[in-house]
Amino acid sequence: MNLDGLTMSVLAKELNERLQTGQIQKLYQIDKTTLLFKIRALNDDQNLIITVGATPAMYLSKPLQDLPKEPSSLCMFLRKHIEGSRIVKVEQINGDRIMCIQTDKLEMDGSITSTFIYVELMGKYSNCIFVQDGVILESLIHVSPLMNRERSISPKLHYELPPNANRVSLLDFDYEEIKNLLTSFGDGTIQQSIRAIFNGFGKPLLDEALLTSSLNGDEIITDLISTQVDALANALYELKTKLNESNGLLTLINDNNKKAHATFILQNYKVLK
């Protein structure tokens, strides 16, 4: 299931509510690209799945059967650093398709070691990366310079966010701030401007904002009159409000049989039954 960053913000909120203060009691490696975290949180057992294979995802699952009896070397290494840790928070990074689980572990000497688990759900570039003090401890997938000249992922390297993570999250701004971002940094068409300024816009949510503002997206943003800028900023703010008030995930379909995943019903879509 491919989710855009804005829709993923609701997942981050719900995971944080379910897992915050929980203790990671056991870690399993199901296969080369999938981890299972058994977490005790809110007096209940939670099973968190992180998979970065063909269908990248992060979700809470029912208890799994037939778990691996022998841990892999990676699993043993991660257990040493992760098991017994408390989850401080689960958050999304800059409205992008990156989730971060912050964990704290009380060491034998009384010190606390913080580990940040970055779950990058970015299609074929997906990964799960464990970071301490800004340095990569381990990852599900190692990325060499030959595989990606812009960003290597390997133990002992400094962790850097993917290039697009320097864009901002729509959820962090009020109406006036959204309007100022559009007028100050907008360049090219409306669609290009929104995607250049904000992380997380998939086509369904972008179309939703355009429908609400009565714009088609191909207009040059610097040519808009003030009422059009107001309408666009208001549509984006309305979208932000709906996301903040949403819970759960819907599977939608339009008249062209195109499916979409969203946290509320979109215009021109209906719930798939």
Note the pLDDT tens digit of each residue in 39-87.
Answer: 999 999 999 999 999 889 999 999 888 889 899 999 999 999 999 999 9
| Full domain range(s) for residue 227 | 170-271
In terms of domains, do 137 and 189 share one? no
In terms of domains, do 231 and 116 share one? no
CA distance linking residue 217 with residue 220, whole number of Å: 8
- Which regions in the chain score pLDDT beneath 50? none
Q: Which among 132, 166, 200 is the end of a domain?
A: 166
CATH code of 243's domain: 1.10.8.50
Give pLDDT, residue 166.
Answer: 64
In terms of domains, do 14 and 87 share one? yes
Question: Which residue stretches of 114-266 are H helix?
Answer: 175-185, 190-197, 203-213, 226-245
Q: Which among 166, 195, 229 is the end of a domain?
A: 166
Q: What's the structural domain count of the chain?
A: 2
Burial of 192 (0-12, 13-18, 19+ CB in 10 A): middle
In terms of domains, do 27 and 126 share one? yes
Tell me the pairing of strands 269-271 and 250-254: antiparallel
In sequence order, which residues have a C-beta less than 8 Å from that of residue 123 and are 6 or more positions away?
Answer: 2, 56
In terms of domains, do 66 and 151 share one? yes
Specify whether the CB–CB gap between 208 and 260 falls below 8 A: no
Give pLDDT, residue 167.
Answer: 83
In terms of domains, do 55 and 159 share one? yes
Give pLDDT, residue 1.
Answer: 54
Q: Which among 121, 139, 166 is the end of a domain?
A: 166
In terms of domains, do 180 and 149 share one? no
CATH code of 112's domain: 2.30.310.10
Give pLDDT, residue 146.
Answer: 84
Give pLDDT, residue 112.
Answer: 96
In terms of domains, do 150 and 30 share one? yes
